[in-house]
């Protein structure tokens, strides 16, 4: 038992990060059933769809699970209302100001965690009253910090600044990675990319296959003027690069991005024109396997690495 397993009442300090188009109730419940904490990713769901996923998740697991709410998407009021009405007990907020919703959620008896990419925002989240912080390094898939601070440097610096439990994210997909993060000061880990390439992820098979084909160096962070995001280099990414060469305005970037690129890429499997979000650690992910196998192997490697570390 540690501060994270106690906070969420789970077996292992492993959290499956909320991921648009990847983390519906099937993934979240599988992670919770395997002893971690599964999160439904509300970012890609209309309010009605979210309600349905929460209800299905409650049926699929009797273990704790949560909902991730990226605050940059519309309908946040409605989404928060549904979360309260459905009796969700854990919420991970991201991409926004932790002050906006933390008190409301806490007043409704919900455990609140906020995702940050710097010590400054970790401190702000602690001041806003959250129960724990996810510190996410630049290696991570999905939206990303502008400061480019890597997990290796971010975790000990956040640790130095906050006293509440700390969850490390970005570049972790194995037991060794988990141990490294915990030695740096984390109480638990959040993994995204590894779970995107699981059987239970709701991503399109084409995207899952692309994750395991992705090699070291195949992803880069782009669109810093809008919201920085780490993408696999495909045609859409190259189109962006060509546009950047012409010193585009923000409006021109928005026009090229258009609407629903992420859905097109990750959910509909359009590997050419879609937005394909994944972390650098994809280079170490070689198979699409069930969630239980992922968690069991991470824990097995974690325990083995802990024993080896004593010998160093």
- The binding site for ligand FMN (CB under 6 A) comprises 17-20, 22, 41, 43, 68, 70, 94, 115, 136, 139-142, 169-172, 190-194, 196, 266, 277-279, 281
CB of 312 to ligand FMN, least distance (A): 25
Choose between 112 and 266: whose C-beta lies nearer to ligand FMN. Answer: 266
The enclosing H or E element of 106 equals helix 99-107
CA distance 269 to 259: 16
Choose between 43 and 47: whose C-beta lies nearer to ligand FMN. Answer: 43
User: Among all residues, whose Cβ is closest to ligand FMN?
Assistant: 192
CB of 300 to ligand FMN, least distance (A): 19
User: Facing residues of 167 across strands?
Assistant: 134, 188
CB of 249 to ligand FMN, least distance (A): 27
CA distance 193 to 282: 6
Region for residue 9 given its phi and psi (left: phi exceeds 0; alpha: psi -120 to 50; beta: otherwise): left
Choose between 142 and 274: whose C-beta lies nearer to ligand FMN. Answer: 142
Closest CA to 178 of 168, 192, 163: 168
Choose between 16 and 119: whose C-beta lies nearer to ligand FMN. Answer: 16
CB of 26 to ligand FMN, least distance (A): 15
Reported in sequence order, the residue ranges of 137-222 that DSSP labels E, i.e. its strands, are 142-143, 166-169, 188-191, 219-222
CB of 311 to ligand FMN, least distance (A): 28
- Report the Cα–Cα distance between both ends of the chain, in Å, rounded: 25
| 284 alpha-carbon distance from chain centroid | 17
CA distance 199 to 219: 22
Choose between 7 and 134: whose C-beta lies nearer to ligand FMN. Answer: 134
CB of 117 to ligand FMN, least distance (A): 10
Choose between 131 and 139: whose C-beta lies nearer to ligand FMN. Answer: 139
């Amino acid at each position: 038992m540690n501060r994270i397993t106690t906070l969420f009442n789970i077996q292992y300090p492993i959290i499956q990060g909320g991921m648009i188009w990847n983390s519906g109730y099937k993934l979240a419940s599988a992670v919770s059933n395997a002893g971690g904490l599964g999160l439904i990713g509300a970012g890609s769901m209309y309010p009605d769809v979210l309600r349905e996923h929460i209800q299905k998740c409650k049926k699929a697991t009797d273990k704790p699970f949560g909902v991730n709410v990226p605050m940059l998407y519309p309908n946040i009021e409605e989404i928060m209302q549904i979360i309260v009405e459905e009796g969700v007990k854990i919420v991970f907020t991201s991409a926004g100001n932790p002050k906006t919703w933390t008190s409301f959620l806490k007043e409704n008896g919900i455990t609140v965690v906020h995702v940050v990419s710097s010590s400054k925002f970790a401190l702000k989240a602690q001041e806003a009253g959250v129960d724990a912080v996810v510190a996410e390094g630049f290696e991570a898939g999905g939206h990303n910090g502008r400061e480019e601070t890597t997990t290796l440097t971010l975790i000990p610096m956040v640790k130095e600044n906050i006293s509440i439990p700390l969850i490390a994210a970005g570049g972790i997909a194995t037991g060794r990675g988990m141990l490294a993060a915990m030695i740096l000061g984390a109480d638990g880990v959040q993994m995204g990319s590894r779970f995107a390439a699981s059987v239970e992820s709701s991503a399109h098979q084409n995207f899952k296959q692309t994750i395991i084909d992705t090699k070291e160096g195949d992803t880069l962070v782009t669109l810093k003027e809008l919201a920085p995001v780490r993408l696999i280099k495909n045609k859409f990414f190259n189109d962006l690069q060509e546009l950047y060469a012409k010193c585009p305005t923000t409006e021109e970037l928005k026009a090229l991005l258009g609407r629903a690129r992420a859905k097109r890429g990750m959910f509909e499997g359009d590997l050419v024109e879609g937005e394909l979000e994944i972390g650098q650690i994809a280079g170490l992910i070689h198979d699409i396997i069930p969630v239980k196998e992922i968690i069991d192997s991470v824990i097995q490697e974690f325990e083995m690495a802990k024993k080896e570390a004593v010998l160093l």
